Structure 1
Amino acid sequence: MLDEKDLVLVHALQEAPRASWAVLASVLGTDARTLVRRYARLRDVGLLRVMATSGPRLLERQLFAHLRLRTGPGRVAPVAEELARWPQASTIRLTDGSTQIYALLVGSDHTRLVETAQQRVAELPDVREAEINTVLLAGDVGRAARLDALSPQQIGRLRGQQTVGEGQSTQPVRLSAEDFELIRLLLEDGRTEISELAARLGREASSVSRRVARLRNDGWLDIITLVPDRAWSSPLRALLWCTVAPQDVDALLRTVSGRPWVGSLTVTTGRANVLVTVNLMTRSQLPGIQAELSTLCPSLRLLEAQLSVRAVKLHMRLLAAGDRLSDPVSDPFWDIRHDFLP
């Protein structure tokens, strides 16, 4: 688990994942060397990862799907571990309820994504039931979720550090093979110093610095801070499979975006056309959240609430024993490179 000082650092990195150690130290009222040591310790034990992810412009090129599996007795863990090897499986959770495994799949072509998933599921041992639903719309509410360890003044100062340029350009750069290599390095560690990135790419540091800023400004690249579920102040995750009247979806997206318990909201195909993931401190909070959702959207009907027993994979990273984030990370762009590269 994270102690109070760990939580402060994690929250600061959630707000400004590539802020300099000097800036972080100034905002947090400590010295940079202490923060460097604390970050290294948390990273070494697998409780913290800062990593690259798709920016909003790249997300527009990617498709997502929900996969739910029910297996034979005693086969949940082996099936989930086999599923975790798939590059298209971004996040995998073991759950209670009617199905025992949930996976978020990612690709760039709908037909290829679904057909590949169906083929892979058919090859898995002891799968008794499988359901694949395409994500039609994803509310970007999960990125607003933060720990609650900093003051509003500290948050304001750190969010100011997130401004890396003049915003998205109308004619964004075209991604190159070198850009994907740069992003791969930032997938490993999103706080890698520009000097190290330049050395590994064989480029001038000033050129690499400008390229990272341009990729972020143009919306191709984002940097996130990731911790395992149990390291959060709200360590439980629930998956709420709901039906919502189509005309109420937009209003629901707007109203839930400010709720601290919301992890994500997606509109999908299938009997349950909305999936809301929520963050809980205890299981007893769930009825209250369900009631609040019904108040926010009268047409919402809950079909099933599933609790995540544990995560096997989070945002392309496997979880090892003790819910520790691994160093190896799946390539989230495995199916999209051909859209940019000759």
Structure 2
Amino acid sequence: MESLSLTELDRALLHALDIDGRASFARLGEVLGVSAHTVARRYQRLRAAGITVVGSLEPRRIGRVTWFARIHTVPEAAGAVAAALARRDDTAWIRLASGGTEIICAVHPRDESHRDELLLGKLPRTPQVASMSAHYVLRRFTTARTPKAWLRALSEDQLAALRPAAEESGGDTQVLTEADEAVLAVLERDGRASYPELAAAAGTSESAVRRRIAQLRGAGALTLAPAVDPARLGYAVSAHLWLNVAPAELARAGAAIAAHPEVPFAAATTGPSNLIATIQCTDTDSLYRYLTEEIAALPGVHQADTAPVVRTVKRG
């Protein structure tokens, strides 16, 4: 994908929106030291380039679990199988890796029947699927607020000024209503949609929508942040890491890798590879350095399997 030509203010705005995607233009301008009009104009420029704030749910905060599937297909079938998976509403993201014959995807089944229907039914019986494995996420080490290498533009003072309105890391499990689903369907397309638009979609009042969004964000169930491909910001090489870590060192290794700015996602899972991570680097040389220096220094790592991403089919 073509990279973006961004000013220092553009990058600062993206970083600010990653902290609080619904902050007003006036508040963003105050933190960034420019006018609200300037912020609005720069945001519209980003939207024209295909970058929009979107809403996404944290599965565990709404009573769902996460599975990762590694699916190996015959060479000519990976695209078609990935496209079919992308049409499902329980798949969060889907990527082609390892030369295009491997599909890696995250699945958030609504219940056990939906899980079994996909992981035990459809996929194993698909003729084009040569093999597959499913990994249950036990503990996520990163969060929506984990710093990202490609969005480092704000000072600590600026981050502190934005954080009070951002999501918390805990809270009670949230049970979604039909009104919630209607609001979230709009936020998935435009995380900065107006409250009148959200209220109309839910068939309720603006004040009720405001309260519910605040509740979901406060419980860590709803994140509102820019949907941006790191490749467009200069981080063009993506890979998935599947690590075999000694159980006694798993928590320490997970916490250590989650602190790396190249890692937007890291979690402990079931299976022979019990620590998985998504890696984003500027080029292959930086990926090599990351593997031989940062991964090599993690405690208890016995084996590392690296799967370079060829194409993103669905972005969560």
TM range (shorter): 0.7 to 0.9
The partner residue of 1:293 within 292, 295, 308 is 295
Shift of 1:281: 0.9
Residues 206 and 256 of structure 1: CA distance in aligned 2, closer, same or farther (over 3 Å):
same
SS of match in other structure, 1:144: coil
Question: Counterparts of 2:284 and 2:269 in 1: how far apart (Å)?
Answer: 25
Whether 1:29 and 2:30 are equivalent positions in the alignment is no
Q: What residue in structure 2 maps to residue 79 of structure 1?
A: 81
SS in 1 for 2:192: coil
1:62 aligns with 2:97: no
Asked if the contact 2:17/2:53 (under 8 Å) is kept, the reply is: no
2:48 aligned with 1:47:
no
Distance 1:56 1:117, change over 3 A: closer
The CA deviation string for residues 192-222 of structure 1, in whole angstroms up to 9 with x for no partner, is 1223322443433223222222232234333
Q: Secondary structure at the match of 2:66?
A: strand
TM-score (norm 2): 0.86
Q: Return the letter of the residue paired with 1:117.
A: L
User: Do 2:167 and 2:220's aligned partners in 1 also have CA atoms closer than 8 Å?
Assistant: no
Q: Distance in 2 between matches of 1:175 and 1:160?
A: 25
Q: 1:96 aligns with which of 95, 98, 103?
A: 98
SS at match of 1:11: helix
In the alignment of these two chains, the number of paired residues is 309
Residue by residue over 1:49-106, the C-alpha shift from the partner in whole angstroms, topping out at 9 and shown as x without a partner, is: 3223237632xx2111121122223332222212211222211111116952111111
- Per-residue deviation, 1:308: 0.8
| One-letter amino acid of the counterpart of residue 139, structure 1 | F
Deviations 1:147-185 (A, max 9, x none): 012222222212233279xx9777x77543222222222
Distance 1:163 1:78 in 2: 37
Label 1:253 to 1:163 Cα distance change in 2 as closer, same or farther (>3 A): closer
- 1:254 deviation in Å? 2.2
- What's the offset of the Cα at 1:123? 5.6
- Secondary structure (helix, strand or coil) at the match of 2:264 reads strand
**Partner residue of 2:266?**
265
Q: Distance in 2 between matches of 1:255 and 1:227?
A: 25
Q: Which has the higher helix share?
A: 2
Q: 1:314 maps to which residue? A: 315
* TM-score w.r.t. length of structure 1: 0.80
Are the aligned partners of 1:69 and 1:101 in contact in 2 as well (CA < 8 Å)?
A: yes
Identity between Structure 1 and Structure 2 (%):
30
What residue is the counterpart of 1:221 in the other structure? 222
Structural mapping, 1:84-233, within 5 Å: 84-96=86-98, 100-110=102-112, 112-122=114-124, 124=126, 126-141=128-143, 143-146=145-148, 147-162=151-166, 175-233=176-234
Structure 1 portions without partners, runs of 5+: 316-342
Give, in whole Å, the separation in 2 of the partners of 1:173 and 1:71.
37
Q: Is the 8 A contact 1:294 1:301 kept in 2?
A: no
2:13 matched residue in structure 1:
9
Instruction: State how far apart, in whole Å, the 2-side matches of 1:161 and 1:267 are.
Output: 29
The residue correspondences of 1:272-287 to structure 2 (distance < 5 A) are 272-287=273-288
For 1:27 and 1:86, the matched residues in 2 are separated by: 40
Shift of 1:23: 0.6
| 8 A Cα contact 2:239 2:306, kept in partner | yes
Kept in 1: contact 2:12–2:153 (CA 8 A)? yes
- DSSP-derived class of the 2:87 partner: coil
